[in-house]
Structure 1
Amino acid sequence: MITLYSFRRCPYAMRARMALRYSGIALDIVEVSLKAKPAEMLALSSKGTVPVLSVDGRVIDESLEIMRWALAQNDPQDWLLKADPDNGGRIWALIEENDQTFKVHLNRYKYAERYPEQPMEAYRAEGELWLRKLDELLADREYLLADHPSLADVALMPFVRQFAHVDREWFAQTPYQRLQQWLERFLTSDLFTSIMKK
């Protein structure tokens, strides 16, 4: 029995669900109320954050580790880019920059009222540097590192989506048309729409 504790709109849970769906893992998904977290989830992981995967007595409570586990079971389109070792290293560098730096700017932009030290636009401008970098990576292809999605695309997409949705009109008029198209490809994909069903 494989169980994933998830929260539909959490970007970390989204990327875990996409990897599990892509890999064809059969599992039960427990949608968690963040205000009333289930005791069985807290017994598995004292962190109290989603996603949490319970598989054969093992607990994996980091989204990237869940993605790695899923791809170790099945990676039919080579999300790990094993055919190109150089790109393999670039996957993790992009994810680290996204999770450690861009996520900070995203939080401050999205919840600017909690960070009154600067106006919202200042936090947006800091995050926009990342959007520009990603847009430049898409200059020669439809995905960040290859001609097909990689682990980097799927791991970053939920966070770019969240940033874009803070002010959709602003995002739509930015010059990052390649990034807009990349995001739209994911948002309309069978993979993403299937993991976002209520």
Structure 2
Amino acid sequence: MSVQERKARERAERERLIVATARELAEQQGWDAVTTRRLAERIEYSQPVLYSHFRGKREIIGAVALEGATEMAAAVRAATAAAVGSRARVSALARAYLDFATRNPAVYDALFELDGGLAYAQEDTPEPLKDAFAALLECLREVAGDGVDPGLFTEVFWASLHGLATLTRSGRLLPQDAEPRVELLVDRLAMV
């Protein structure tokens, strides 16, 4: 292995450490607790080393969001692949999405609530974000209905899931009614 390859590998490892540490800190204490100073202390590197990887917190949030998008897409695909029938797949998609939001609140915030400097729904949208949307579209395309743009339908269904996730997390919707909400969403919007 050449010196350049070793340095590139070490740099990639440091970057993964920064992202993992930011994510862990955000999940434990919230994003306000994630500062470059605290990250530098936790990873045992100086702040200039941290800044050699990311220009600041915004880019770190973006990196966590991209990692989260990949995980969310995998969770949705795994859940829908195991389900049999259109209704079961859409229901599995909804549950997987909401479970991801519940289990990973800081990552979910990085994806959808905080400014990570990422472009959404544009040509320069990063591939992990495109793939997360594609994971939803793959399942919802079959239930969009005649004459309905599957992409538009997916956006509306996703917006509904996002609303359920954020309103439940904030305590504005009672958690004990989560299952009936999912069933209503699937039955009425997906009409399967």
Q: TM-score, normalised by structure 1?
A: 0.32
Bigger helix fraction? 2
Q: TM-score, normalised by structure 2?
A: 0.32
When Rg is computed on C-alpha atoms for both structures, the one with the higher figure is: 2
